[in-house]
Structure 1
């Protein structure tokens, strides 16, 4: 598990190695150099090699630090996860179809943290049919303010709020057969507000009418006042982290490993805030706070 320091240091070592290759190439092609010029070139190569050795030592140290972090998490995972999400209602929102691999990771994380099955899981179908949505909402006076292509971001925000807050969800009710690809439990069966939300983008990045709609959806979740985290696996073809961050969602980019599951559980169990964790972030984990249990 490597962090940003590892990648930067490794790249520096590669660039210096390339520099040595260039210097050696110059030396081989410059048979006519005088003694002073040749000595200066040899000194440059020697300094570059010393720098590579120092950088390699740093890379080895960082690699060992990250291995130690991973080992620590694996050894203490059960103790650190216990009861972190006990009694919490966690909802999961997919943009695109349900990714069963990621859903398995999420179910494991919630269960390991003492939580129950996700209170509701919605998979939003994209791309959207903006014209059909406009027609549906335009025919309902109470919802007509959300009709029109210039209202798609506003519409997405309201859907995000309704997803978190539960209750009657009038816009979801009006559009569910147009935008809900999958719902667990069945659509409308879960009305209680969510204590925390996980967002997954399983679809490709959206363009056209779908882009402002999806952006608003993320923003609505991020502004709902509960912990909200966008997640992905450590090796994702198209990262959604930038759009999650813009919508004020926290991110965890390694939900497929124990460190990511622990980071997710910690963030979901604490008051809403925004931060980034994982193997591709500056911090592997949030501060590991104790789980407070009722006394008596």
Structure 2
């Protein structure tokens, strides 16, 4: 017959089996709960991702719409600028002088706009960047040469008289231009050379402006809206009308109006501008 030990072992086996069953059941139940939680989290992430995709698609559409609107506005600005400048400078002799750091593309656009306005243009005079020897010796000869090339050899140049004799033997134009358009702005790439070069240029260019005005030539200046160094304060100090957004159709139209005799001032989009656009003279 089974003894007490047998019954105890049997009871222990039964309870052990029950305990193992309970543990396994709990583990399986917990695994099911965890699995459901993970599935819910994954579904939530997928929903959020899908929503973000929809938002991005909407933003892309908005950007595409805005880009199309900007392109249309640019086209309108170009057409309006062409209408404003058409024939405005017909028969007017205009000389274009580009500063050493002026953007070449902006200079080209200015030249094209002046031609569209009917101006009689000669070759563009581009000033070379000053070297260290010029700066240290305060030699304004290249800038005096530019001034004399336009204004004529008989002009007395205030601070440039010391180099007038050197230049006097050069060729002279038969007549003076009605207008000089100076395209400036920009700065040397080397930051160490920037300050002395710009200080030197400020003096040299102001003397050029004075020389042209002394010869009875109307002087207007322009630079791009992105010029690394703005020369608008220099133009204002010299009493020169200017535009600070010659890279834009409206800026080039304003430049033509200034060249044709519009109200003097500083026009454009920078804080130094007195107004956005000049009133036409007629």
| Fold conserved between structures, TM > 0.5 | yes
Stretch moving more, 91-100 or 105-114: 91-100
Q: How far did residue 73 of structure 1 move?
A: 4.8
Which residue pairs with 1:278 in the alignment? 268
1:165–1:211 distance in 2 versus 1, CA, 3 Å = closer
Unaligned runs of 5+ in 2: 1-72, 156-160, 189-193
1:192 is aligned, of 175, 193, 196, to 175
- Residues 120-160 of structure 1: per-residue CA shift (max 9 Å, x gap): 52424414634997xxxxxxxxxxxxxxx5xx68x799657
**How far off its partner does 1:234 sit?**
1.4
CA shift, 1:92, in A, is 1.9
**201-210 or 94-103, larger mean C-alpha shift:** 201-210
Q: How many residues end up aligned between the 2 structures?
A: 196
Q: CA RMSD in A?
A: 4.0
SS class of match (1:110): helix
- Shift, 1:231, TM fit: 0.8
Structure 1 CA distance, aligned partners of 2:233 and 2:132?
22
TM alignment of 1:166-205, pairs within 5 A: 166-167=152-153, 171=163, 174=166, 188=171, 190-201=173-184, 202-204=186-188
Q: With a CA cutoff of 8 Å and minimum separation of 6, indicate the structure with the bigger relative contact order.
A: 1
TM-score by length of 1: 0.53
Say whether residues 1:266 and 2:270 are aligned partners. no
| 1:1-296 → structure 2 map (5 Å cutoff) | 73-96=77-100, 99-118=103-122, 120-127=124-131, 129-130=133-134, 162-167=148-153, 171=163, 174=166, 188=171, 190-201=173-184, 202-204=186-188, 207=196, 211-270=202-261, 274-280=264-270, 281-290=273-282
Deviation at 1:190, TM superposition (A): 4.3
Which runs of 5 or more structure 1 residues have no equivalent in the other structure?
1-68, 134-148, 177-186, 291-296
- Distance (Å, rounded) in 2 between the aligned partners of 1:157 and 1:263: 26
**Structure 2 Cα separation of the partners of residues 264 and 117 of structure 1:** 15
Question: What secondary structure is seen at the aligned counterpart in 2 of 1:279?
Answer: coil
